[in-house]
């Protein structure tokens, strides 16, 4: 049994070296940020590095190849010399990567147990973010208690507006409505690329798009931040490792988290997906057609059989949606709406893909499997369906088992009318 240990105070902060830098960015106001701590004690016994830019679409990028790691624009938030370092152990490009390490006995930094870098609060709301990620299985054991590896924090003293979390070997995204979107299993001991395009808004014009390994896995329209009022502001990006379950003297069943990041980019609204996509120059990311892996077999023991229309204001199912049906919102007195996928078999998650008058791609990892999400306690969310836009839609739902094998999917078309 692990013994709970009291954390030392933030003793490093008395001796930390503060660097002051100023960058004039195309989409950010001129800002001067202090670096809280310059990491030392790196794997290769040499000083770690940074590469930053203030011209073009790419505001800042880091490949850990230079001589003064992460010393401009962003703030380093770690209380240890090993928290954020340069490493030659795992590389996506070049000869080095950025290594993030967190232990349950680490002193807190910035009011939490974290090893993160934090970017300034922006002055505009449309940005791109990307990185290559490597999770070593030996130093990142699965457990139920989650931690954050990317977050967009808008202040206000509450949970970040958007956070990418790890739990039980899976990634999920938490959004302002407290909904969780499953992003799939993490294949450890292997590099993966992630690209994020976010229009930060508390209204219906908000947008979250996520690509993993070149495939789009999320398109979410609607509120992507809290309304700016009081202590709330436009969200600033933080990445690394933050585990609130280790704050104070708390512990969990694990005591170590190590992640490697490479080819990190932060860009303005005029950037493109192709500019942001990390591409390894070490190994081709597109194998020849003759060596493409075959698709996994279908698990016919799990299926989506039908769809139910849900009134999210009463938490009641209104009717079964049949293919080609027209749904009159006024006749049903329906404003806040959701759709549940009716399933059969032992299912790990369901991916729902909506296109038409409005579009949305979401993965729900717990029943009821709802397009707009739910809290798992009988309360359905409605997202931007308050009410849904009138028009024709196509909805596809695909179930997956615990091994990621797809079951029998179902696709319907339907129309929302007045």
Which residue range(s) make up the domain with 196?
Answer: 11-276
d(CA 62, CA 32): 19
Residue pair 399/406 in contact (Cβ under 8 Å)? The answer is yes
**Does residue 285 sit within a domain?**
no
Same domain, 326 and 264: no
Same domain, 254 and 310: no
275, two tokens: 């500019």
pLDDT tens, position by position, 104-159: 999 999 999 999 999 999 999 999 999 999 999 999 999 999 999 999 999 999 99
Q: Which residues of 354-388 are buried (b: 16+ CB within 10 A; e: fewer)?
A: bebebebbbbbbeebbbbbbbeeeeebbbbbbeeb
When divided into structural domains, the chain yields a total of 2
Boundary of a domain, candidates 258, 276, 294:
276
d(CA 414, CA 399): 21
Same domain, 249 and 120: yes
Q: What pLDDT shows up at residue 295?
A: 53
Q: Are strands 191-199 and 337-344 parallel, antiparallel or unpaired?
A: unpaired
How much is the mean pLDDT over the chain? 84
The number of angstroms, rounded, from the C-alpha of 122 to the middle of its chain's C-alpha atoms is: 19
Boundary of a domain, candidates 241, 276, 311:
276
Q: Say which CATH number the domain at 407 has.
A: 2.60.40.10
pTM for the whole structure: 0.61
d(CA 130, CA 263): 8
Q: Say which CATH number the domain at 131 has.
A: 2.60.120.200
**Does residue 236 sit within a domain?**
yes
Same domain, 212 and 327: no
Same domain, 105 and 185: yes
Same domain, 256 and 314: no
Tell the burial category of 391 from Cβ atoms under 10 Å away from its Cβ (0-12, 13-18, 19+). Answer: exposed
pLDDT tens, position by position, 269-302: 999 999 999 988 774 444 444 444 555 578 899 9
Across-strand partners of 175? Answer: none
Same domain, 257 and 317: no
**Does residue 289 sit within a domain?**
no
Same domain, 131 and 271: yes
Q: State the DSSP code for 274.
A: H
Same domain, 209 and 315: no
Q: Are strands 207-212 and 349-356 parallel, antiparallel or unpaired?
A: unpaired
Same domain, 271 and 310: no
pLDDT tens, position by position, 358-415: 999 989 888 999 999 988 888 999 999 999 999 999 999 999 988 888 999 999 999 9
**Does residue 348 sit within a domain?**
yes
Name the residue among 48, 44, 257, 245 with its Cα closest to residue 136. 257
d(CA 212, CA 217): 7
d(CA 286, CA 268): 28
**Does residue 189 sit within a domain?**
yes
Same domain, 107 and 214: yes
First vs last C-alpha separation in the chain: 61
pLDDT tens, position by position, 167-204: 999 999 999 999 999 999 999 999 999 999 999 999 99
128, two tokens: 């791109």
- Per cent of the chain over pLDDT 90 is 72
- Per cent of the chain over pLDDT 70 is 82
**Does residue 2 sit within a domain?**
no
Q: Which residue has the tokens 């059969």?
A: 344
Same domain, 37 and 124: yes
**Does residue 282 sit within a domain?**
no
**Does residue 357 sit within a domain?**
yes
């Amino acid at each position: 049994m692990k013994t709970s240990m009291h954390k030392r105070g933030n003793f490093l902060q008395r001796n930390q070296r503060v660097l002051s830098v100023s960058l004039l960015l195309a989409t950010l106001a001129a800002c001067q940020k202090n670096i809280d701590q310059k990491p030392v004690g790196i794997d290769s016994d040499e000083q770690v590095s940074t590469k930053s830019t203030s011209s073009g679409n790419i505001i800042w990028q880091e490949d850990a190849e230079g001589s003064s790691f992460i010393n401009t624009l962003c703030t380093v938030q770690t209380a240890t010399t090993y928290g954020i370092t340069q490493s030659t152990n795992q590389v996506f490009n070049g000869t080095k990567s950025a290594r993030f390490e967190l232990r349950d006995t680490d002193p807190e930094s910035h009011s939490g147990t974290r090893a993160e870098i934090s970017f300034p609060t922006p002055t505009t709301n449309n940005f791109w973010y990307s990185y290559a990620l490597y999770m070593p299985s030996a130093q990142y054991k699965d457990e139920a208690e989650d931690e954050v590896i990317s977050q967009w924090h808008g202040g206000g003293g509450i949970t970040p507006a958007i956070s990418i979390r790890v739990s039980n070997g899976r990634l999920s995204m938490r959004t302002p409505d407290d909904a969780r979107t499953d992003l799939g299993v993490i294949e450890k001991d292997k590099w993966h690329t992630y690209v994020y395009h976010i229009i930060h808004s508390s209204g219906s014009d908000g947008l979250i798009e996520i690509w993993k390994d070149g495939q789009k896995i999320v398109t979410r329209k609607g509120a992507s931040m809290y309304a700016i009022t009081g202590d709330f502001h436009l969200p600033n990006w933080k990445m690394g490792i933050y585990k609130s379950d280790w704050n104070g003297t708390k512990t969990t069943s694990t005591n170590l988290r190590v992640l490697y990041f490479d080819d990190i980019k932060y860009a303005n609204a005029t950037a493109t997906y192709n500019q942001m996509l990390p591409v390894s120059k070490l190994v081709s990311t597109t194998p020849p057609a003759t060596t493409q892996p075959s698709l996994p077999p279908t698990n016919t023991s799990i299926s989506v059989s039908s769809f139910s229309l849900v009134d999210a204001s009463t938490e009641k199912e209104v009717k079964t949606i049949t293919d080609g049906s027209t749904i009159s919102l006024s006749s049903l007195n329906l404003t806040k709406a959701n759709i549940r996928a009716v399933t059969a078999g032992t299912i790990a998650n369901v991916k729902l893909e909506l296109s038409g008058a409005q579009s949305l791609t979401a993965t729900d990892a717990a029943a009821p499997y709802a397009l707009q999400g739910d809290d798992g306690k009988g309360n359905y969310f409605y997202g931007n369906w308050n009410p849904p836009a009138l028009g024709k839609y196509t909805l596809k739902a695909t179930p997956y088992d615990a091994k990621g094998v797809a079951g029998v999917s179902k696709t319907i078309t339907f129309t929302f009318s007045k």
